[in-house]
Amino acid sequence: MNKEDKIRLNKFISDKGICSRREADKLIQDGRVLVNGAAAITGMKVDLEDTVSVNGKTLSSGGGENIYSLK
């Protein structure tokens, strides 16, 4: 996996249709996002091999979009 293959976590979440990038940063800061089972850090990068969960819901790393209600 090349360094270029990684994207910022907030963009990954936003691309899945969950929320905007800024809202994703807030979710990360609030501890509501996990990457590979550990609390995410604002600004971190992920790739297709990482498992990302928002509010306990795992997001697919594949091409399809997942849309979840955060409320």
Q: What is the CATH number of the domain that holds 42?
A: 3.10.290.10
Residue 68 belongs to a domain: no
- Within a domain: residue 66? no
* Cβ pair 24, 7 in contact under 8 A: no
Q: Are 13 and 30 in contact (CB under 8 A)?
A: no
Helices (H), the chain: 9-15, 21-29
pTM over 0.75: yes
For residue 7, the model assigns a pLDDT of 96
Q: Is residue 27 included in any domain, yes or no?
A: yes
The whole domain housing 31 covers 3-53
Q: What's the number of domains the chain is made of?
A: 1
pLDDT (tens, 9 = 90+) of the chain, 71 residues, equals 566 689 999 999 999 999 999 999 999 999 999 999 999 999 999 998 999 999 999 997 655 444 455 54
Asked if residue 9 belongs to a domain, the reply is yes
- Residue 13 in any domain: the answer is yes
